[in-house]
Amino acid sequence: MYSWALKPLLFMLPPDMAHALALAALGPLEHSEHLRGAVRGALAPPRDERLVVRAMGLEFAAPVGLAAGFDKNALRPRALAALGFGHLEIGTVTAQAQAANPKPNLFRLAADHALINRLGFPNEGALRVAQRLSAVRAQLQVPVGVSIGKSRAVPIEDFDAVVEDYTSAFDAVRGCADFVVVNVSSPNTAGLRAMQGTGQARALLGALAARATAGPPLLVKMGPDLGDEEIEGLLAVVEQTGLAGVVATNTTVTRSGLTTDAKLVQAIGEGGLSGAPLRARALDVVRRVRARLGRKPVVIGVGGVERAEHAMALLRAGANLVQLYTGFVYEGPGAPNRIVRGLAALVEREGARSIEDLVGVER
């Protein structure tokens, strides 16, 4: 129904309006336990012990989750969980509430199954979002992560203030999150990606890790545009600071290999590209991260997931879990169910006891 009826209507609207409409449509589901139960029965895949992932001291009924960006303010977590996601990542939130960057700031590249966004972490502030999430946390049946970023008002040049800003965001959300993701790789906050450099990353992640000793597991979200040496440097910091793992990857600033007319892409301008064009790079980065960090740290693979085969490729490259956002936009609310059921069929075909047995096993 989504592909032939709802999607064409939504894609006639500007992307930001379509997103707002989708969140509004999820409102009844969010606020009705009876409706959530019905939808969960219809859309959520049945529990399959072969798909259970145990990581970070948490249990994920399936490895497919929703990436940060879709529900920035924890407006619809119960509804989204009912669709069959194995986990959710809320945010990105910042210590200070802030509006989106000037419009237009969100664009579709339909021919490429991609999005370009330059939203810039619009959210109601970490404390407000944490309060909203805490109010419904007991009703969620899946692990929930929260992504934290830098407030736009904090100058990137004042490093001490940046650390304090991230720390404030972490302190606000730590009580309601099963894990926290430190976003230092969005291209839509000026200068933020420089925080992936070894020196700054060590200071920032070290400060946050020190506060997380008795709190939720801490991961860092890395960008896809880092060079080999930069990747190695950041992963060395992950090891040194004892982080639980890495989310790979964020959106890209590159525009190579697109089907969409180059003049249209150029007219859109700056922003992070997500979706199918990122798939190959995400695989490569996940593979490098797993090879560098070994078996213990958690790797969450993100980029171009639309079908079970895409998810399985990331798992085989070394991801413990995968996430989708752009694929959710293009494939609709039935996507989690289809991907999870497809993974079950792939595990069956492999004759594996568990999907965890296939992590990092490429053929």
Query: Domain limits of the chain?
Result: 46-357
CA-to-CA dists, residue 49 to 59, 347, 350, angstroms: 11, 11, 15
Is the bond preceding 249 in cis, omega lying within 30 degrees of 0?
Answer: yes
Q: Catalytic residue positions?
A: 186
CATH topology of domain 46-357: TIM Barrel (3.20.20)
Which of the residue ranges 38-42, 59-63, 184-188, 254-258 would you say has the lowest mean pLDDT? 38-42
pLDDT band at 1 (very low <50, low <70, confident <90, very high): low
What pairing do the DSSP bridges indicate for beta strands 114-117 and 64-66? Answer: unpaired
Model pLDDT for residues 301-346, shown as the tens digit of each residue: 999 999 999 999 999 999 999 999 999 999 999 999 999 999 999 9
pLDDT tens, position by position, 110-158: 999 999 999 999 999 999 999 999 999 999 999 999 999 999 999 999 9
Mean local confidence (pLDDT), 342-353:
96
Give me the residues paired with residue 7 across strands.
none
Residue 342: how many other CB atoms lie within 10 Å: 18
